[in-house]
Amino acid sequence: MEEIINLLFLNQDLKYRDFHSSLMPNINKDNVIGVRRPILKKMAKDIYKNYNYSLFLNELPHKYFEENVLHILIISYLDDYDLMINELDKFIPYIDNWAVCDGYSSKLIKKNKDKIIIKIKEWIKNKYIYSKRFGVNMLMNYFLDDDFKKSYLSLVGNIKSNDYYLDMVIAWYFATALAKKRDETLLYLENNKLSDSVKKMLIRKAKDSYRVDESTVLRLIEIL
């Protein structure tokens, strides 16, 4: 662990730390080293291929933001589905910001969609804010195309939240659903209530999205 932390500080970029910290106001700046993502990805792959990565995965909680990024990147490189899920379940309760939570991908997901959807439902119903956000992200990234079901709209729409970062991903999900499954999403929104916070975020995201046309935005505003 000491060797990894030393390497992180050797790759520190203070200007990048200041910038990236400003995007994560809920995280103590002292716990952000300031290492760019490509370097973290290279480090994570090196740890996974050349070292006993399980020692690192068992070191929870981590102190630094970059350690958490390394952690979830290493999990994404695992080639055993059950091991991946086990490590995600251990790690997710320690996630405390969107930058670690978002964008998770693994070659194992598309190969196990019938099983991962069960876990997604569990994560969304979990008590942890970032477990819910992680689940919604996965649903948005992997289940808005051929594997889409209308019931997934309810799964997200029924989440009770008063957290900014959870509200934001709910709005993001519905904005993406509008782009990919317009009619089903408008019908759902017409017959179901979202919180005022999510509504405002959703309208803003739909307006900003190049994939949602003006007529859909106007219909969305009318519905909400």
Which among 139, 165, 156, 219 is positioned nearest to 192, based on CA atoms? 156
pLDDT at site 104: 95
Answer for the pair 188, 154: CB distance below 8 angstroms, yes or no: yes
- Give per-residue pLDDT as tens, 49-88: 999 999 999 999 999 999 999 999 999 999 999 999 999 9
Whole-Å CA distances, 8 to 21, 90, 100, 181: 16, 23, 16, 42
pLDDT at site 193: 87
Contacts of residue 212, Cβ cutoff 8 Å, sequence gap at least 6 = 175, 178, 179, 206, 220
| Whether pLDDT at 207 is above 90 | yes
Using CA atoms, how far apart are residues 54 and 184, in angstroms rounded to an integer? 43
pLDDT at site 1: 82
Which among 120, 65, 58 is positioned nearest to 91, based on CA atoms? 58
Please report which confidence band the pLDDT of residue 192 belongs to, taking 50, 70 and 90 as the band edges: confident
The whole-number average pLDDT for the span 153-163 is 94
Cα-flanking dihedrals φ and ψ of residue 115, to 5°? -90, -40
Contacts of residue 134, Cβ cutoff 8 Å, sequence gap at least 6 = 92, 95, 101, 104, 123
Q: Using the 8-state DSSP alphabet, how is residue 118 labeled?
A: H
The whole-number average pLDDT for the span 177-202 is 95
Q: What is the pTM of this model?
A: 0.94
Contacts of residue 136, Cβ cutoff 8 Å, sequence gap at least 6 = 124, 156, 159, 166, 169, 170, 173
SS3 182: helix
The whole-number average pLDDT for the span 6-35 is 95
Using CA atoms, how far apart are residues 208 and 77, in angstroms rounded to an integer? 33
Domains and CATH numbers, the chain: 1-111 (no CATH), 112-224 (1.25.10.90)
What is the CB neighbour count within 10 angstroms for residue 132?
Answer: 25
- Give per-residue pLDDT as tens, 103-148: 999 999 999 999 999 999 999 999 999 999 999 999 999 999 989 9
Residue 200 one-letter amino acid: K
The CA-CA-CA angle for residues 51, 11, 130, to 5°, reads 70
pLDDT at site 110: 93
